[in-house]
């Protein structure tokens, strides 16, 4: 049993491949876990709806990167568009990303223990939209190759291949921790997502000035 706010850890190979780890079975509501109203939009009261909408609007102000996270399931690629990812650690190199509990990719990752992050380039918003659909055919028109047990897309700004090292419940999402096996960057501007619109990064005019700290790599 977990305490309020305490993360519940599951290993990727815990033998519960298709099971939703954070959701108790019928009649097994665990004390200390999230109240159902917090994860079931159908059971929210007015104040909770207002908070959810305000939170959504606030998060739309965050400019995020966009990647297609992938794995290979018995040689077949599966991928999902993800903006909730970031680097986590340098020693060892690790990344984290958050996947909705209902994600098909999440169910596959529990089984395969492998994860690839294709950090999309500025011109790849069509791929971002394609991989944001549900279904098993998302790679039908994609150019890809197998690497690190995952699918690497051609033309991405960067590639990071990982072994999944932990899965941690976080509300209606699951945080996936990946230990980096391989990383490669291309000379391409990244795709970004802000205010529900795709774009790319433009340096501020004053940052192009040699005196700016960011141009010195600080």
Ligand X SMILES: Cc1cc2nc3c(=O)[nH]c(=O)nc-3n(C[C@H](O)[C@H](O)[C@H](O)COP(=O)(O)O)c2cc1C
Q: Is 83 a binder of ligand X (CB under 6 A)?
A: yes
Q: Is 82 a binder of ligand X (CB under 6 A)?
A: yes
Q: Is 103 a binder of ligand X (CB under 6 A)?
A: yes
Binder among 20, 104, 166, 172 for ligand X (CB under 6 A): 104
Q: Is 176 a binder of ligand X (CB under 6 A)?
A: no
**175, β-bridge pairs:** 98, 168
How many Cα atoms are found within 13 Å in the side-chain-facing hemisphere of 161?
A: 13
Scanning 7-15, 88-96, 131-139, 209-217 for contacts with ligand X by CB under 6 A, the matching segment is 131-139
Q: Is 99 a binder of ligand X (CB under 6 A)?
A: yes
CB of 31 to ligand X, least distance (A): 27
Q: Is 172 a binder of ligand X (CB under 6 A)?
A: no
How many Cα atoms are found within 13 Å in the side-chain-facing hemisphere of 152?
A: 18
d(C-alpha 135, C-alpha 142), whole Å:
14
Nearest to 144 by CA among 110, 116, 172, 169: 116
CB of 192 to ligand X, least distance (A): 9
Query: Rule CB under 6 A: which of 51-70 touch ligand X?
Result: 66
Residue 45 CB contacts under 8 Å (≥ 6 apart), including other chains? 37
Q: Is 73 a binder of ligand X (CB under 6 A)?
A: no
State which residue, 18 or 28, has the beta carbon closest to ligand X. Answer: 18
Q: Is 120 a binder of ligand X (CB under 6 A)?
A: no
State which residue, 105 or 151, has the beta carbon closest to ligand X. Answer: 105
> Residue 173 corresponds to which tokens in the numbers above?
């999402």
Scanning 98-106, 112-120, 158-166, 177-185 for contacts with ligand X by CB under 6 A, the matching segment is 98-106
Q: H or E stretch including 175?
A: strand 173-185
Q: Is 133 a binder of ligand X (CB under 6 A)?
A: yes
DSSP E strands, 51-113: 64-65, 67-73, 76-82, 85-90, 93-100
d(C-alpha 5, C-alpha 170), whole Å:
9
Q: Is 128 a binder of ligand X (CB under 6 A)?
A: yes
The three-state (H, E, C) secondary structure of 71-86, written as one string: EEECCEEEEEEECCEE
Query: Rule CB under 6 A: which of 15-54 touch ligand X?
Result: none
- Would you tell me which residues interact with ligand X (CB under 6 A)? 66, 80-84, 98-100, 103-105, 128, 132-134, 193
């Amino acid at each position: 049993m977990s305490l309020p706010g305490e993360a519940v850890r599951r290993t990727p190979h815990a033998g519960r491949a298709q099971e939703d780890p954070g959701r108790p079975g019928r009649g097994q509501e665990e004390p200390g876990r999230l109240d159902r109203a917090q994860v079931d939009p159908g059971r929210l009261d007015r104040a909770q709806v207002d908070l959810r909408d305000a939170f959504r609007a606030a998060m739309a102000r965050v400019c995020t990167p966009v990647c297609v996270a992938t794995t290979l399931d018995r040689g077949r690629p599966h991928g999902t568009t993800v903006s909730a990812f970031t680097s986590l650690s340098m020693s060892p190199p690790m990344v984290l990303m958050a996947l909705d509990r209902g994600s098909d990719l999440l169910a596959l990752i529990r089984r395969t223990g492998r994860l690839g992050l294709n950090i999309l380039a500025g011109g790849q918003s069509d791929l971002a939209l394609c991989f944001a659909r549900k279904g098993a055919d998302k790679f039908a028109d994609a150019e890809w190759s197998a690497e690190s047990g995952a699918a690497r897309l051609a033309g991405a700004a960067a590639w990071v291949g990982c072994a999944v090292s932990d899965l941690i419940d976080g509300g209606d999402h699951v945080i996936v921790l990946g230990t980096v096996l391989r990383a490669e960057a291309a000379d391409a501007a990244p795709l970004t997502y802000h205010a529900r619109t795709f774009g790319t990064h433009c340096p501020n005019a004053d940052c192009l000035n040699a005196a700016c700290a960011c141009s010195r790599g600080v």
